[in-house]
């Protein structure tokens, strides 16, 4: 049974070719409405009642979801073909682009994985006496508050919240499971007359809490503090910031859903062997410190992981992969967009990869400016860092003329630049670009001014791991090439062995985590399988004769 698609011209501000969309997608695309969310809401109710409907409007998502609740039916699929396609100053046909967006929206949804995090409202407040105590007084009705004051501070005469004295040595964890260690810890001794008395100081006092409100104004307790859930900071000299952080803290009690952003396969990890360090790509990039060494492999703390996706892009073996959504769904989305656009008669589509900030920019550009060109197809990623070199070259191999990645303010630009550079080496420099732009008008101008060369590649849709897809895509982009040089640090390449220095001790063979190196049981010989090499460097590190060097490249033969 095909899906029913309801479209709307939004008061006549865009053209929708329902017949062309039906032919391109195989879905039952109804004749476009003019005011589906108001005067023609009965048509939406009828489609929802019949089930399996897609409504081409995200602006009024709340209206259609409320309608589904009233009808006691499943919420409809929603897709934006207006801001992303219809509202444009481009006079070319937008039907192929709309068809591509519809086909992508019809892909089966993948349920996200999550765990429940419970916060009982145990809040630790750090900061100067006056500011910290004022915040505690505001929060005492909502949270179980403890204030940590510096030695010598005047302890207030109150039991409305707890006060301790000491120095915070360290803190770890995240929302619902922070652990703190306090030196010189002194606690209030209840009872007695006059000023509050304190217990003798002791070092190494340990405690736990659910929320930390840091009003010290100094260095953060954690790397990437804005990504650490349950950790709130504010400048004590800026009352509005303190008020905002205090208000946010008051809401951090109850049960929260924590997404599980990545999945790990430790057996594939090439981090270490025999206490020799190899690959550290994910460790070098993780902004929150969620990834730590754990023997021969690395370990990811899902409670600290903020889901930036960079680890998935750089992992050479697939030991860590993004899972919200899964990597294979991203490949399917890219391939579906290209395949549908080309099948609908479009020529040389361009892929614009963006995050939530980019979505806002597209909406503003469409409503108040030129919008997007008719051949630019937007792909929103929840974590743009997860769109790495493999996804970029797969997009080109699928038929896109070029791929432009537009990161938002919170993205790791350095990590993305490295992935773009690798993709450029695997394809061509003018096929992949990074658009660092925060102005909607400048974004539109840059895309309208862009004139990429036509894509002469016969579209392919490779399957398999990210490494396999990269190799197949690169082969399609360079059908006559045998080898591509790659930048330093690339996860593909060969090893060069100085035969005069090598003693065939086979230390490299015993440590190779991917099986790229082996020996010959019949004669003294070192064997190498290049497509399995992760360029982790363990062989070069362990070689007692320094006979091994790495050569980043991609062999296409």
Q: What span, in angstroms and rounded, lies between the C-alpha atoms of 164 and 151?
A: 9
Question: What pLDDT score does 17 carry?
Answer: 95
Question: What pLDDT score does 400 carry?
Answer: 97
Question: What pLDDT score does 360 carry?
Answer: 97
Q: What span, in angstroms and rounded, lies between the C-alpha atoms of 25 and 295?
A: 50
CB proximity list for 353: less than 8 A, separation 6 or greater: 378, 379, 381, 384, 387, 391, 403, 404, 405, 406
Burial of 512 (0-12, 13-18, 19+ CB in 10 A): buried
Which H or E run contains 495? strand 493-497
CB proximity list for 295: less than 8 A, separation 6 or greater: 272
Q: What span, in angstroms and rounded, lies between the C-alpha atoms of 507 and 495?
A: 14
Which H or E run contains 180? strand 178-189
Confirm if 432 and 517 have CB atoms less than 8 A apart. Answer: no
> Dihedral (C-alpha) 433, 438, 442, 447: value to the nearest 10 degrees?
30
Which H or E run contains 422? helix 413-426
Dihedral angle sign, alpha carbons of residues 358, 364, 366, 370: negative
Of the CA atoms within 13 Å of residue 538, those in its CB half-sphere come to 28
Comparing CA positions, the residue from 205, 206, 216, 204 lying closest to residue 173 is: 206
CA distances to 183, 240, 377, 466, 482 from 474, rounded to whole Å, are 57, 53, 22, 12, 11
Which H or E run contains 149? strand 144-149
Confirm if 155 and 169 have CB atoms less than 8 A apart. Answer: no
Q: What span, in angstroms and rounded, lies between the C-alpha atoms of 294 and 515?
A: 21
Which H or E run contains 250? helix 239-250
> Dihedral (C-alpha) 292, 256, 327, 278: value to the nearest 10 degrees?
0
- The DSSP annotation for 275-310 comes to TEE---HHHHH-SSS-EEEETTEEEE-TTT-----H
Confirm if 453 and 376 have CB atoms less than 8 A apart. Answer: no
- The DSSP annotation for 333-391 comes to HHHHHHHHHHHTT--S-EEEEE-HHHHHHHHHHHHHS----TTEEEEE-SSGGG--HHH
Confirm if 517 and 508 have CB atoms less than 8 A apart. Answer: yes
Confirm if 14 and 84 have CB atoms less than 8 A apart. Answer: no
Alpha helices in 51-113, H assignment, sequence order: 61-71, 95-105
Question: What pLDDT score does 416 carry?
Answer: 96
Dihedral angle sign, alpha carbons of residues 301, 304, 305, 311: negative
Comparing CA positions, the residue from 314, 352, 264, 304 lying closest to residue 85 is: 352
Provide the greatest CA pair distance for the chain: 90
pLDDT tens, per residue, the chain with 557 residues = 578 999 999 999 999 999 999 999 999 999 999 999 999 999 999 999 988 899 999 999 999 999 999 999 999 999 999 999 999 999 999 999 999 999 999 999 888 899 999 999 999 999 999 999 999 999 999 999 999 999 988 889 888 999 999 999 999 999 999 999 999 999 988 876 767 788 999 999 999 999 999 999 999 999 999 999 999 999 999 999 999 999 999 999 999 999 999 999 999 999 999 999 999 999 999 999 999 999 999 999 999 999 999 999 999 999 999 999 999 999 999 999 999 999 999 999 999 999 999 999 999 999 999 999 999 999 999 999 999 999 999 999 999 999 999 999 989 999 999 999 999 999 988 999 999 999 999 999 999 999 888 888 999 998 899 999 999 999 999 999 999 999 999 999 999 999 999 999 999 999 999 999 999 888 889 999 999 999 999 999 999 999 999 999 999 98
Question: What pLDDT score does 189 carry?
Answer: 87
φ, ψ dihedrals at 336, nearest 5°: -65, -40
- Helices 413-426 and 466-477 pack at an angle, to 10 degrees, of 50
Give the helix, strand, coil percentages of the chain, each rounded to 5.
Answer: 30, 25, 45
């Amino acid at each position: 049974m095909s899906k029913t698609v309801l479209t709307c011209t939004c008061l006549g501000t865009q053209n929708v070719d329902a017949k062309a969309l039906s032919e391109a997608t195989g879905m039952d695309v109804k004749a476009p409405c003019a005011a589906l969310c108001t005067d023609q809401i009965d048509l939406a109710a009828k489609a929802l009642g019949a089930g399996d409907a897609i409504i081409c409007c995200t602006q009024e998502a709340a209206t259609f979801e409320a309608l589904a609740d009233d009808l006691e039916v499943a919420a409809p699929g929603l897709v934006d073909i207006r801001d992303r396609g219809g509202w444009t100053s481009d006079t070319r046909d937008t039907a192929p682009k709309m068809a591509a967006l519809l086909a992508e929206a019809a892909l089966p949804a993948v349920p996200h994985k999550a765990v429940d995090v419970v916060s009982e409202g145990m809040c630790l407040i750090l900061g100067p006496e006056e500011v910290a105590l004022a915040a505690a007084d505001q929060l005492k009705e909502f949270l179980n508050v403890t204030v940590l004051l510096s030695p010598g501070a005047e302890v207030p005469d109150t039991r409305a919240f707890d006060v301790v004295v000491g120095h915070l040595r360290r803190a770890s964890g995240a929302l619902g499971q922070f652990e703190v260690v306090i030196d010189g810890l002194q606690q209030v001794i209840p009872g007695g007359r006059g000023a509050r008395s304190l217990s003798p100081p002791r070092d190494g006092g340990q405690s736990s809490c659910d929320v930390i409100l840091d009003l010290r104004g100094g260095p953060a307790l954690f790397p990437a503090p804005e990504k650490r859930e349950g950790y709130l900071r504010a400048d004590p000299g800026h009352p509005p910031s303190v008020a905002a952080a205090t208000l946010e803290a008051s809401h951090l009690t109850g049960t929260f859903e924590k997404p599980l952003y990545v999945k790990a396969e430790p057996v594939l990890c090439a981090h270490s062997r025999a206490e020799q360090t190899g690959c550290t790509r994910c460790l070098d990039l993780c902004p929150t410190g969620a990834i730590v060494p754990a023997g021969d492999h690395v370990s990811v703390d899902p409670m600290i992981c903020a889901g930036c996706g960079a680890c998935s892009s750089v992992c050479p073996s697939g030991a860590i992969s993004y899972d919200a959504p899964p990597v294979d769904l991203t490949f399917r989305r890219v391939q579906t967009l290209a395949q549908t656009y080309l099948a609908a008669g479009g020529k040389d589509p361009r892929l614009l990869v963006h995050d939530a900030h980019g979505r806002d920019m597209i909406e503003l550009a469409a409503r108040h400016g030129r919008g997007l060109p008719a051949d630019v197809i937007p792909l929103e990623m929840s974590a743009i860092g997860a769109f790495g070199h493999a996804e970029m070259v797969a997009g080109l191999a699928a038929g896109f003329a070029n791929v432009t990645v537009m990161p938002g303010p919170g993205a790791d630009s350095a990590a993305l630049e490295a992935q773009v550079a690798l993709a450029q080496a695997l394809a061509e420099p003018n096929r992949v670009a990074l658009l660092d732009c925060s102005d909607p008008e400048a974004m539109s101008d840059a895309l309208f001014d862009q004139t990429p060369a036509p894509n002469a590649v016969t579209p392919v849709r490779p399957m398999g791991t990210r490494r396999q897809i990269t190799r197949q895509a690169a082969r399609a982009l360079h059908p006559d090439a045998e080898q591509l040089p790659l930048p330093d640090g690339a996860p593909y390449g060969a090893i060069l062995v100085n035969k005069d220095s090598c003693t065939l001790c086979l230390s490299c063979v015993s440590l190779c985590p991917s099986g790229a190196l082996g020996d010959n049981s019949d004669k003294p010989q070192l064997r190498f399988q290049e497509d399995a090499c992760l360029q982790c460097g363990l062989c070069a590190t362990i070689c007692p004769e320094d006979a091994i060097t790495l050569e980043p490249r991609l062999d296409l033969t």
